[in-house]
Amino acid sequence: MKKTIGFIGVGIMGIHMSRHLINAGHDIIAYDKVPAALARAVDQGAEAATSSKEAAAASEIVITMLPDSPDVEAVALGPGGIIEGAKPGLIHIDMSSIAPAMAQKVATVLGEKGVRCLDAPVSGGEVGAQNAALSIMVGGPEDLFNEVLPVLQIMGKTVTHCGPSGAGQTVKACNQIQVAMNFIGMAEALVLGAKAGVDPAIIIKVLSGGYAQTRVMDVRGPRAIRGDFAPGFKSAFHYKDLNIIMETAKNLHVPLPASALAHELFSALMAQGRGDLDHSAVLTILEDLAGVQARTKTPA
């Protein structure tokens, strides 16, 4: 059934997600504080709103896809935000990756205005967004999840109800732990092999054919050894996620020693001014430490 959907945050990921909704026949009212991003959404068929408040007021469902917890709090609860345009029965689906505690706060405060809320962070990066192949992790009431599932399935291939409010964000934190470990494991393997004089393309080929194979290696490995770190998911965003992971672990009294190391490696990446590169660029920090470049000598 055709819906009027507000889409706030039409950047690297949101622009593709909103396009799929338009192509499926939904009316999209887009808003982004970056004029160029909003212009791209209009070019692909969205109507432009002048604020988050306006987008919410005109919509049955409002989706947010924003960088971090403070951004979601401001857009959802701040001046000119969703809360000021909300009417009872509005559905808010936050698809950003934020702290579980912030997801719960937004759901509670908007709930007092009669807004029904889901946290629904995604995994899959820009490629997943382009291909409508995202993995979507959803927290909130199960009946609401079932109601909006057809909308979520337009943007994602795997859509899973994870539990109550905040559970989607918790599962996303778990996902980002595993993804960080995969990138660091790949980087260490490539740097060790390169230091020993083995062509990184050979390492990728062999590891991809055995038990060490990962989706990270399949998607980003060949690009990384060519020195192609154009962002599918920026390192700065993964560093933000690692901050959320460490804070959540602290609050829950859960030791995460390997995640702590990953946090420090991504911190070094930020210190080197490489936050706008893809998160596979953590390879460059290990290259710096080892004094070698893990770049291919043969076609990857």
Give the CA count within 13 Å in the CB-facing half-sphere of 255.
1
Q: Give the model confidence (pLDDT) of 28-62 as tens digits.
A: 999 999 999 999 999 999 999 999 999 999 999 99
CB 14 within 8 A of CB 67: no
Q: Respond yes or no: is residue 33 known to be catalytic.
A: no
Neighbours of 183 (CB within 10 A): 27
**Domains, in order of start, for the chain:** 4-165 (3.40.50.720), 170-290 (1.10.1040.10)
Q: Looking at residues 241-257, what average pLDDT do you find?
A: 96
- Per-residue model confidence (pLDDT) at position 57: 97
Question: In whole angstroms, how far apart are CA 296 and each of 133, 176, 200, 201, 230?
Answer: 29, 27, 5, 5, 17
Whether residue 300 is predicted with pLDDT greater than 90 in this model: the reply is no
Q: Looking at residues 118-126, what average pLDDT do you find?
A: 93
Compute the distance between CA of residue 155 and CA of residue 275 in angstroms, rounded to an integer.
26
Q: Give the model confidence (pLDDT) of 199-230 as tens digits.
A: 999 999 999 999 999 999 999 999 999 999 99
Find the catalytic residue in 53, 105, 113, 172: 172
Amino acid in the structure at residue 106: V
Compute the distance between CA of residue 26 and CA of residue 28 in angstroms, rounded to an integer.
6
* pLDDT classification of 298: cutoffs 50, 70, 90: low
Lowest mean pLDDT among 118-127, 155-164, 256-265, 283-292: 118-127
Average pLDDT for the chain = 96
CB 160 within 8 A of CB 121: no
* pLDDT classification of 170: cutoffs 50, 70, 90: very high
- Per-residue model confidence (pLDDT) at position 291: 97
Whether residue 256 is predicted with pLDDT greater than 80 in this model: the reply is yes
- Per-residue model confidence (pLDDT) at position 15: 97
